[in-house]
Chain A
Amino acid sequence: MSGVPGYGLGKGLAITLKTLVSRSTTQQYPDVAPELPPRSRGVIALREENCTVCMLCARECPDWCIYIDSHKEEVVVPGAARPRQRNVLDRFDIDFSLCMYCGICIEACPFDALFWSPEFEYAEYDIRNLLHDKDRLNEWMATVPAPPAHDPQGEPSKEEANALKKAGAA
């Protein structure tokens, strides 16, 4: 078939005509919000009250873009022999001009204080404004989607299994 003279020319015309009459895939971005796939990585959100200042995220960060400062406070627990000590977060900054969105900090966090948010529209005119402090990171929490539902065929979570066991024992 491809030996026929002009076959290629005809094929070129046919393909362009087919593309002409089929819908184009262009997304009209600023006018129409894009449909992002699930688990899109836009920005990192911080749930401040979950953070224990363990510093794991800052240490695991490959390009050291997380800055954490804290101080210790004494908490007097009534009935306890000694006052307890507690870490209080003073500063938690992520420099998104350095961040490469690897998500290791989120994986590393043992207390569910860091989350992926799909928001991506936080470009700035000044690179220094890409340093998001803990209040700003906290604001992103509102945009964090709910965690995906469990696999209906999958094993129940440890917490659920434990609770079931307890209920069964009682």
Chain B
Amino acid sequence: MDWLELALRVGAVTVAFLVLPLLVGQTEHKVMAHMQARLGPMYAGAFHGWAQLIADGVKFVQKEDITPRAADGPVFKLAPGVALIPYLLVLLVIPLGPGDLVGQPLDIGLFFALAIVGVGVVAVLMAAWSSANKYSLLGGLRAAAQLMGYELPFVLAAASVAMAAGTLSLPLIVERWEPWWLLWQLPATLVFFIAGLAEIRRPPFDMPIADSELVFGYMTEYTGLRFAFFLLAEYVGIVVISALTATLFLGGWHGPMAESLGWLWMLLKTGAVAFLVIWFRVAWPRLREDQLQRLCWLILVPVALAQLVLTAWVRVAMA
């Protein structure tokens, strides 16, 4: 791989990293508005508010960047970056299309992605602890409990599909995927998606943010660009979780018509899952902390374990 190709790949991933979250965010603005019988942004960019998030970005840049006096400065300032960078790295290993259409084909891509998504909890704890604010701390501890808990069904569900495909490489998993896996891996799909929602702390799993009780959880003390980074991390998170769900369980670039259109299928599937994420946010109320833990430990983990057994059994039966 020469330097030009490397630069091209990194550039493409960076562009995806900057554009896809904005698309998801704009879709959320409009879809949420219309689900609530509103219109949403209509002015920015003249046509149905398409430039709203760009305007928001400009606004965030102009805002004063405040670090509270009691805060632990360096940690406080570093946390948004720690929240954002892992998702950028995950995008690197997610295959967009057949063959070489992936930022960096990695033999242990799945392992890498899961490990790096797990870094999120560190950023949250950094932000929470360094803010010197009790709401931040409460939100951070809730987030830690939630992320630690949901990490388990998340990884178990992903392990099931890795077992089915017999590889940890994401492009290979997609390549070996067959439509009947939709049924075979259905419990894992649901567990992975629900746990993924909890991993990115989206409603109905937004207990760590819970604006009606915790101001804005671990993001309470953040302003300006750093706050924007946290928000961007949330939307990249949606992209990453949707893309991972599409890659692992929905067959990624598989689809009718020519294989050269694979990237389109992948984007469509990712978009559909992201739409679900938005839809759930509009339709469902927040889970209480105890309900959240109960769902994880009493439903998701057992289902994921049962799926593992099923996967192993089918694999052995087929071999």
Residues in A lying within 8 Å of B, measured CB to CB: 9, 12-13, 15-17, 19-20, 22, 24-26, 28
Contact = CB atoms under 8 A, between A and B. Distances in A.
B36 A13 contact: no
A160 to B, nearest CB: 48
Contacts of B1: none
A16 B39 contact: no
Given A12-B283, A15-B283, A20 B42 contact: no
Contacts of A20: 31, 34-35
Contacts, number: 34
A22 B34 CA distance: 8
Nearest to A24: B37
B279 interface: yes
Contacts of A16: 35-36, 279, 282-283
B38 A28 contact: no
Contacts of B280: 13
Interface string B32-53: 0111111100100000000000
A97 B34 CA distance: 37
B35 to A, nearest CB: 4
A166 B116 CA distance: 98
A16 B37 CA distance: 9
Given A13-B279, A16-B279, A26 B284 contact: no
Interface in B244-282: 279-280, 282
B33 A9 contact: no
Nearest to B30: A20
Given A17-B35, A24-B33, 20 more contacts: A12-B283, A13-B279, A13-B283, A16-B279, A16-B282, A19-B35, A19-B36, A19-B37, A20-B31, A20-B34, A20-B35, A22-B37, A24-B37, A24-B39, A25-B37, A26-B37, A26-B38, A26-B39, A28-B39, A28-B42
Contacts of A22: 37
Given A16-B279, A24-B39, A9 B284 contact: yes
Interface of B is mostly: helix
A19 B284 contact: no
B284 to A, nearest CB: 6
29 contacts: A9-B283, A12-B283, A12-B284, A13-B279, A13-B280, A13-B283, A15-B283, A16-B35, A16-B279, A16-B282, A16-B283, A17-B35, A17-B279, A19-B34, A19-B35, A19-B36, A19-B37, A20-B34, A20-B35, A22-B37, A24-B33, A24-B34, A24-B37, A24-B38, A24-B39, A25-B37, A26-B37, A26-B39, A28-B42
A15 B36 CA distance: 10
Contacts of A15: 283
Contacts of B37: 19, 22, 24-26
Interface residues on B, range: 10 to 19
3 A-B pairs with the lowest CB-CB distances in the bound complex, closest first = A12-B283, A16-B35, A26-B39
A25 B36 CA distance: 10
Interface in B278-293: 279-280, 282-284
A17 B280 CA distance: 11
Nearest to B282: A16
Nearest to A23: B37
Contacts of A12: 283-284
Nearest to A25: B37
A144 to B, nearest CB: 33
B205 to A, nearest CB: 14
